[in-house]
Amino acid sequence: MDLVATPGLAGVEATAELGRVPTAFGVRVTADGQHEYDVTLTVSGLPDPQSLGDYSTFVAWVTTPLLYPMTKLGEVGNGTTQLSPISLNKFLLLVSAEASGDVTERTGRLVLRGFSPSTRKQPADVFEFLLGAGRLADAGGAQATRREMTEMGTGPGSWVRPPMPEGLPMLQALMDLDPPQVSPYLPGMRAPIGGPVPDARPRELVMMSDGDTLDLEAGFVRRTIRGKQFTMYGFNGQYPGPLIWAPQDATIIVNFTNNIDWPTTVHWHGVRLQNAFDGVPGITQDPVFPGETFQYRVHFRDAGIYWYHPHHREDIQQDLGLYGNMMVRSPRSDYFSPANSEEVLVLDDLLMNGDRIVPYGQERSTHTLMGRFGNIFLLNGEPDYELTVDRGEVVRFFLTNVSNTRTFNLSFGGAAIKVVGSDVGNFEREEWTESVVIAPAERYIVHVRFDGSEDFVMENRVQGIDHLNGVFFAEVDTLGVVRVSSDAASPDHAAAFETLREDEYVVSEIDKYRPFFDRPVDHELLLTMEANGFPFVVERLMRFDSTYFNPVEWSGTMPMMNWIATPEEAKWILRDPATGNENMDIEWQFEVGDVVKVRLSNQREAFHAMQHPIHIHGQRFLVLEQNGVRNTNLVWKDTMLLPVGSTSDILLEITNPGRWMVHCHIAEHLESGMKMAFTVN
């Protein structure tokens, strides 16, 4: 942020850097979803405050565009000053001359002022309203008639438009956009395989030992959501798929059968298994066609919480229910601090208009601009999740985000949350958090203590953007309810819960990699996109809107322009700056035993910049720093969230030979090309 001097103060210059606040997650937000920033103010040319009047010092303040409330950040002077963190959607930084550093209200002369980047998000102007008033040409209503036919049909081949979020306005020209240039698809448009569709069953626990065999089938199921039945997919007829429990270092055999109407595979997400069984069509295996089988050999090298899902048209197959968890337990008795119970939770959403699922693109994906945000929230496949616990109970939650696009900001109704682990094991140290920011494909392990007699509501609390009016607004969605009984938890783990434990094993394991932390970067990837052939109104309005992108797009408040985008219109890119190669043309070669430092940069100036959850197959990595801020509490990851405009350095441990994928885990971005592969010899 550049701050501007008030008249009469020539030569005064100031810049505020909005830095990253240390966090266990890819981005730091408050419990209600407002981004939080560490603020560093650098000033030059300030005169002696006494030369401006009866003043002795300069003080920095932060306020909203309404100039209320006004919050003191601290005294400043020439040079660099670290100010208090800021967590506001839109804000102004002010510097005033004051009589004393002890003042609590700004009364002195204003000397500097600056606006946050988010204040660039402004209401549509007259030209934008004219541009968005309606179609530029609509010969005799023919297009409107075609739109009405495609959205009002009830049989196979009918499009259903995604709805605008309730209460949000949008320009009429965007609401009038034609459907995407692909055929609509939903299960049931083709004949199900294997006879009548069975009712889906809740997930079952499957206990596996070394050498055991599991039969796993992808098939059609009938799901009931909010009283309405839908034909969807499931593994072994369950939602989510079977919870596979296995000890660390076990190897199991999975006999997979495909009984859905698409070619598919099973990817064992985060598991450092043999390359031939990674489940990537065209890289590690041929797709498994309907009616065919494939045998996977899955070795669980690391303790942690993992998940399995398709790796072919996962924008459809995964979204319709093909996902399940793997729980890999360490032999260490002290691996976790104490808890009274455990819950494995899968976070998801589903896009519906009324009582109908919005169809998917058959020939290629839709929603490739921002990804497919759902509007029905699901925990373990249910829209009305409930859990009953005893008073004071400590629950260990294993959280997995299987949604196509949505990054959640999960809180537990004010209950204390302690972050314990993530994708591939434990953090070096447990730490407190108000909420859990979890991007698609990420996993987090948290301990939550429900101390009280009231119910605790599990919520996704974020800040959406009303693009027409240029304002942020709070979105609060209920995911489930934790009900507290009158019985006291036994044993009482309060003392252990209040202790932030260090995992000495994880610290010592990471110690051998610390000499690599400050080495030069070996490889870089730039994350960006190219737009091609969007309708004129979308192209022009996006150019107006691109003055600011939220670091994380939390919700789908521009559903129509997103819906019409296919890989033809929105191409998402991983680019190697050293060679200029993009996506699958990138060729990186490594040897087993290499330790590689990679810099990931998410370009802010793209046509529609977005956050990206980047997943690396077959290996694990440490997130060393983001935007120059060193991460001081490390955990092994396979997926990381990279916000808009951010740069992160990761340390990639190369242990597993084969050809492995790197891609964005927003399913529609993957379908539009945001992927590459590297070879480990």
Q: What are the tens digits of pLDDT across the range 248-270?
A: 999 999 999 999 999 999 999 99
Of 553, 548, 584, the residue nearest 659 (C-alpha): 584
Half-sphere exposure of 643 (CA within 13 A, CB side): 19
For residue range 577-634, list pLDDT tens digits in order: 999 999 999 999 999 999 999 999 999 988 999 999 999 999 999 999 999 999 999 9
The number of beta carbons lying within 10 Å of the beta carbon of residue 415 is 17
DSSP 287-299: -B-TT-EEEEEEE
**Over residues 397-421, mean pLDDT:** 98
Q: Name the phi and psi angles at 210, rounded to 5.
A: -55, 125
**Among all chains, which residue has been given the structure tokens 């501007």?**
4
Spans of all domains in the chain: 2-120, 129-172, 201-329, 342-502, 514-532+569-680
Q: What is the pLDDT of residues 206-219, one digit of tens each?
A: 999 999 999 999 99
Residue 276 DSSP code? G
DSSP helix/strand/coil, 507: helix
CA–CA gap between residue 101 and residue 597 (Å, rounded):
45
Measured distance CA(38)–CA(628) in Å, rounded:
12
Q: Is the Cα torsion angle 226, 231, 237, 238 positive or negative in sign?
A: negative
Q: Classify 201-329 by CATH class.
A: mainly beta
Verdict on whether the full-model pTM lies above 0.85 = yes
Residue 220 to residue 323: CA distance in whole angstroms: 13
Q: What residue has token string 């990699």?
A: 513
Distance CA 566, CA 363 (A): 10
Q: In what order do the strands lie in the sheet with 587-590?
A: 587-590, 675-680, 658-664, 612-616, 639-642
Q: Judge whether residue 533 has pLDDT over 60.
A: yes
> Could you tell me the CATH superfamily of domain 342-502?
Cupredoxins -  blue copper proteins (2.60.40.420)
Return d(Cα 463, Cα 3) in angstroms, integer.
Answer: 26
147 has pLDDT over 50: no
What mean pLDDT is reported for the chain?
93
Confidence of residue 142 (pLDDT cuts 50, 70, 90): very low
Q: What is the C-alpha separation between 244 and 235, in angstroms, rounded?
A: 12
pLDDT class for 418, splitting at 50, 70, 90? Answer: very high
136 pLDDT more than 70: no
Burial of 438 (0-12, 13-18, 19+ CB in 10 A): buried
- Measure the CA–CA gap between 14 and 23, rounded to whole angstroms: 27
Q: Which CATH number fits domain 514-532+569-680: 1.25.40.10, 2.60.40.420, 1.20.1250.20, 3.40.50.300?
A: 2.60.40.420
Average pLDDT over every residue of 39-49 = 96
CA–CA separation, 610 and 606 (whole Å) = 9
* pLDDT of amino acid 188: 73
Give dist(CA 30, CA 208) in Å, integer.
40
- What whole-number percentage of the chain has pLDDT above 90? 87
Q: Is the peptide bond before 287 cis (omega within 30 degrees of 0)?
A: no
SS3 of 149, please?
Answer: helix
What confidence category does residue 114 fall into, taking pLDDT thresholds of 50, 70 and 90?
very high
Q: 650 with 446: CB under 8 angstroms?
A: no
Confidence of residue 196 (pLDDT cuts 50, 70, 90): confident
- Does residue 489 register a pLDDT over 60? yes
Q: What is the pLDDT of residue 128?
A: 75
Place of tokens 């793209």: 606
CB-based contacts of 481: which residues, under 8 Å, 6+ apart?
Answer: 385, 386, 387, 455, 456, 457, 458
Residues 6+ apart with CB under 8 A from 624: 517, 597, 630, 631, 648, 649, 650, 651
Architecture of 2-120 per CATH?
A: Sandwich (2.60)
Strands 205-207 and 243-247: parallel
Q: What percent of the chain has pLDDT over 70?
A: 95
Closest to 611 (Cα-Cα) out of 583, 648, 638, 580: 648
DSSP 546-564: TT---SS--S-S-HHHHHT
pLDDT tops 80 at residue 140: no
Long-range contacts of 70-73, Cβ-Cβ distance < 8 Å, separation of 24 or more: 70/94, 70/105, 70/106, 72/103, 72/104, 72/106, 73/39
Task: Report residue 584: phi and psi, to 5°.
Answer: -70, -5
Residue of 448, 477, 446, 438 whose CA lies nearest to 461: 477
Say how many C-beta atoms besides its own lie within 10 A of residue 405's C-beta.
29
129 pLDDT higher than 90: no
Would you list the DSSP string of 312-337?
SSHHHHTTTT--EEEEEE-S-TTSS-
> Is residue 229 a contact partner of residue 257, using CB atoms and an 8 Å limit?
no
Q: Please give the DSSP secondary-structure letter assigned to residue 200.
A: P
Instruction: Check residue 543 and give its pLDDT.
Output: 76
Give ∠ CA 360-363-369 in degrees, rounded to 5. Answer: 60
Q: Strand pairing partners for 395? A: 341, 448
Beta strand pairing status for 612-616 and 639-642? antiparallel
Enter the DSSP assignment of 21: P
What is the three-state SS of 567-628?
CCCEEEEEECCCCCCEHHHCEEEECCCCEEEEEEEECCCCCCCCCEEEEECCCEEEEEEECC
Amino acid identity, residue 407? Answer: T
Q: What is the spatial distance between Cα 335 and Cα 430, in angstroms, rounded to a whole number? A: 12
Judged by phi (left if over 0) then psi (alpha if -120 to 50, else beta), residue 160 lies in: beta
Which uninterrupted H or E stretch holds 664? Answer: strand 658-664
